[in-house]
Amino acid sequence: MKPVQKNDRLLVHVEDLTHDGAGVAKVDGYPLFIQGALPGEDVRVHVLKTLKSYGFAKLLEIENASPHRVDAPCPVFDTCGGCQIQHLSYEGQKGFKQKMVRDAITRIGKLPDVPVHAVKGMEDPWRYRNKSQIPFGIQNGRTVAGFYESRSHNIADTDVCLIQTFEADAIMVGLKKSLLEMGIEPFEEQTHRGQLRHVVVRKARATGEIMVVLVTKKKKFPQAEQAIALIRSLVPDTVSIVQNVNPEKTNVIFGNETLVLWGKEVIEDRIGDVRFEISARSFYQINPVQTEVLYGQALEYAALTGEETVIDAYCGIGTISLFLAQQAKFVMGVEIVPQAIEDAKRNAELNGFTNTLFEAGPAEQVIPRWYKEGKKADVLVVDPPRKGCDEQLLRTILQQRPGRVVYVSCNPATLARDLRILEDGGYRTKEVQPVDMFPQTTHCEAVAWLELA
């Protein structure tokens, strides 16, 4: 028998927060997930659904609020899927993320003694995103734009997003108002009708340059001139307006064809002293302030003297690689997306680096081949996607035994799993530094430093 039944109303004590930001209360050991509740709170709930080993309940009333509870400032916080923990103070958010990393390192990594430092967070944890991908649609005959509701493709219509730039707000609102007047139909996902699918706004923080990408269903775009004039009047710092054509029935944002409508093809940004050219579809870290902190941490752990050869696995457009190249003898970057490697090479050239080499391919295949060719690394940096390092890559590390490994991770669970494997193969995890790249959300980034024992 489950200790609670559907439609029960009860008072529970919230103990924990899941990685989705839901509160967790236990009733005789049976976990109930409660959206909106925070650890330490006593809350009245209505049980919505019970499964074999856990259930879901709706928050009715807070009897005892957490000292970390704050009013979420965003008007669509309750429906929008973009942020999960605006109702938690920023101090509380940092504490939550440190605990999330520490729990993973202890439970999954079985490394209770490894120091997990306090999260390096932002002074002002708002308006940080340098890229917004704004879906446009129609609801009840009105143009809507904002971000998707959680686990859905309904748009939570809004005129402000507090984690995006003011410029992105201005373009979102201005286009929303004038779209139909200009004769541009917003896209409807259900029926595949309409023209404008997404508007992507990118800002290069260091230079202030703005790029706007209009993702349209068809290439034919007779209102382009009007749209250009409107965007330029809304945001005078716009230097690049680009059209991307995506005719497919898909929820992937970009299609294959990209054309410059007005201005430049790229915008230029800097991370520290390194310059980057970013095109419409380039992968680029989202939080420019914290990217410097994250890469600075990776650089500190890499402890380069100028004599080392470094491999940067999962290098994207080579951002970490070029950061490292300032202090290393030689840096080799590998990344699976060929376009990103083209960007990396161009950016190396732009900065005048002659001590880098980039290759497109799966890290787990390219790196063993490099070693076979005698290209050895003293320090290996990895920055894999959420699923963590490929097993074959971990095996290569354990065979080739570079003296130092710096692991940049966007998922504490796979980080902990991979640290365990590296520990079992002879590495020691010295310390872990979480860095908050995504305030107001539950996403958590961390850098780990390992040495060969």
Catalytic residue positions? Answer: 410
Amino acid at site 334: V
Q: Is 445 in the site for ligand SAH (CB under 6 A)?
A: no
Select from 41, 308, 335, 378 the one that contacts ligand SAH (CB under 6 A): 335
Amino acid at site 15: E
Q: Which region, judged by CB under 6 A, interacts with ligand SAH, from 41-49, 171-179, 323-331, 378-386?
A: 378-386
**Residue 314 marked as a ligand binder:** yes
How many residues make contact with ligand SAH (CB under 6 A)? Answer: 19
User: Tokens representing 384?
Assistant: 């894999």
Q: Is 283 in the site for ligand SAH (CB under 6 A)?
A: yes
Q: Is 343 in the site for ligand SAH (CB under 6 A)?
A: no
Q: Is 359 in the site for ligand SAH (CB under 6 A)?
A: no
Q: Is 22 in the site for ligand SAH (CB under 6 A)?
A: no
Distance CA 390, CA 63 (A): 47
Place of tokens 């990209």: 258
- Count the helix, strand and coil residues of the chain and give each as a percent rounded to the nearest 5: 25, 35, 40
Q: Is 316 in the site for ligand SAH (CB under 6 A)?
A: yes
Helix (H, G, I), strand (E, B) or coil at 73: coil
**Residue 285 marked as a ligand binder:** yes
Amino acid at site 294: L
Give the residue from 175, 194, 288, 195 showing the smallest Cα distance to 238: 175
Q: Is 356 in the site for ligand SAH (CB under 6 A)?
A: no
Helix (H, G, I), strand (E, B) or coil at 378: coil
Q: Is 290 in the site for ligand SAH (CB under 6 A)?
A: no
Q: Is 4 in the site for ligand SAH (CB under 6 A)?
A: no
Residue 384 C-beta: closest distance to ligand SAH, Å: 6
Q: What is the rounded radius of gyration, in angstroms, for the C-alpha atoms of the chain?
A: 24
The answer to whether 423 and 444 are in contact (CB under 8 A) is no
User: Tokens representing 209?
Assistant: 């340059």
User: Whose Cβ is closer to ligand SAH: residue 176's or residue 404's?
Assistant: 404
**Residue 308 marked as a ligand binder:** no
**Residue 312 marked as a ligand binder:** no
Helix (H, G, I), strand (E, B) or coil at 315: coil
Q: Is 332 in the site for ligand SAH (CB under 6 A)?
A: no
Select from 285, 287, 297, 347 the one that contacts ligand SAH (CB under 6 A): 285
Select from 362, 398, 400, 423 the one that contacts ligand SAH (CB under 6 A): 362
The answer to whether 241 and 263 are in contact (CB under 8 A) is yes
Q: Is 385 in the site for ligand SAH (CB under 6 A)?
A: yes
User: Whose Cβ is closer to ligand SAH: residue 384's or residue 439's?
Assistant: 384
422 φ/ψ angles, rounded to the nearest 5 degrees:
-70, -35
What distances in angstroms separate CA 400 from CA 37, 74, 307, 376, one per listed residue?
Answer: 48, 50, 19, 8
Binding residues (CB under 6 A) for ligand SAH: these are: 283, 285, 314-316, 319-320, 334-337, 340, 362-364, 383-385, 390
Residue ranges at the known binding site for S-adenosyl-L-methionine: 285, 314, 335, 383
